[in-house]
Amino acid sequence: MAQYIRLLRESPNFTLLWLAQVVSLTGDWFNTIVLSAMVADFSGGSGLAISLFLMARFLPPLVVSPFTGVIVDRFDRKLILVYSNVIRTGIVLMFLLATGPDLLWLIYLLTIMQFTLSALFEPGQSAIIPSLIRRSDLVIANTLVSITWSVMLALGAIIGGVVAAFFGASIALVIGASTFAVAGYLIARIQVPPEAETRSDLEAGAVQPTGSFGEGLRYLARNKMAAAALLVKGGGSVGNVDTLMTVFATQVFILGTDGQLSLGIMYSSFGIGAILGPVLLNRINDGSIGRMRRLVVIGFVLGTIGWIVLGAAGSLAILSLALLIRAMGGSANWTYSTVIIQKSVDDRYLGRVFALDLAFFQLVTVVSTIAHGVLIDALGVDYLGVISYGTAVVSLIPLVLWMAVVPRMERREAARTTAPV
């Protein structure tokens, strides 16, 4: 705890970014609980309808990433973060217009708009962090960002479920909208220091970067270890849990109006696991890229175990435990892959690399979400356990790939380093 307090005390600009995250994530999870329950209610509990709602959240980053990464690298990153929050304030308020099943399409449309802006905000936030802190603090800073996401998931989800259950969806949505406005104000106060001289792997006489998307792809082609890090977030998203969580909450373990309270409990359990993952693994993390690549293996294993326990869940308590275990692995891998990218990628390419990182994550998430929705509608709620076990098997694929590819690349990397000049 002391190292996080030190970081916040010594880095006031990062502190403002962190506070903005705290505020906006609180409202974000209010919205997630309310809108998930609304879609389930308006659609009569259709698994495909829920999957389409989740796809409306996950698909925009996949589609717009070639543009968002270029924007983040070409323009003022702070202003991008501010404007993203201001516009999202208005979009979330418009959810109040969705008052019945005939307006389900409006929820989908506004969700697409909101997460298109999120696709700009997320790589912008990850890319600006190295400009606000010392390089030696990257692991601590990104762990704090991950922990904060997790804490606000745990608190925001349960509070959102309670507020929605007792005060209604409209109040929860207004609270969610106001948090984006406050977050935008906090980020506007950040003073980004003059850019330090960035790392560069460009060969002598090479053409200087122009900021194009294709150039970002060529950069990754030259830096295969940095490219390999893009496998981590996407690999950890195999079998995205949101669809199953919503179905479990609204059709199996129903607490509160339309399952809003049980969904809040599930998200809270997921959030607690996401806190524990990087915090516990950091005890054996020395901050080196090599060590974090090894810790990613543990993260993948925890994710698979979580799916196995989920398949055996016969109660809300066991289900919550499964979500906690899976979140431990996913959160640790998200944190370490982010730091690996920040430490190994030239600052001029960070926006494009993080946009691609997010795009692959969303691609796997979209495919998983659609697959789960179709399977639930085809097999029925009674087969949720079978679906979970099947997902556990599929989740072994990124683990095997990571264990096969990374050591081979590291040996080649070491060979180049020790080769005589």
User: 419 lies in a domain?
Assistant: no
Name the more confident of 62 and 313. 313
Distances (CA, A) of 90 to 80, 169, 176, 386, 404: 16, 17, 11, 41, 47
Number of domains in the chain: 1
Q: What single letter denotes the amino acid at residue 122?
A: E
Closest to 24 in 3D by CA, of 120, 133, 153, 216? 153
For residue 85, tell me if it sits in a domain.
Answer: yes
**Residue 101, domain extent:** 9-192+218-411
89, part of any domain = yes
Tell me, yes or no, whether 208 lies in a domain. no
| Distance (Å, whole) CA 142 – CA 129 | 9
Task: Report the share of the chain in percent with pLDDT over 90.
Answer: 26
Grade residue 204 by pLDDT with cuts at 50, 70 and 90: very low
Selection from 222, 413, 201, 236 nearest residue 338 by Cα: 236
Beta carbons of 55 and 39 less than 8 angstroms apart: no
Q: What is the mean pLDDT of the chain?
A: 83
**Position 207 pLDDT exceeds 60:** no
Domain-embedded: residue 238: yes
Taking only the tens place, the pLDDT of each residue in 388-413 is 899 999 999 999 999 988 888 778 77
pLDDT in tens, 142-177: 888 888 877 776 676 677 777 777 777 788 888 888
Residue 243 lies in a domain: yes
Q: Is the pLDDT of residue 109 over 90?
A: yes
Residue 210 belongs to some domain of the structure: no
CATH code of 317's domain? 1.20.1250.20
* Averaged pLDDT, 228-237: 89
Average pLDDT over residues 74-85: 90
| Listed ranges 50-59, 288-297, 351-360; the one with the highest mean pLDDT | 288-297
Do the domain assignments include residue 383?
yes
Helix, strand, coil percentages (3-state) for the chain, rounded to 5, are 85, 0, 15
Confidence of residue 91 (pLDDT cuts 50, 70, 90): very high
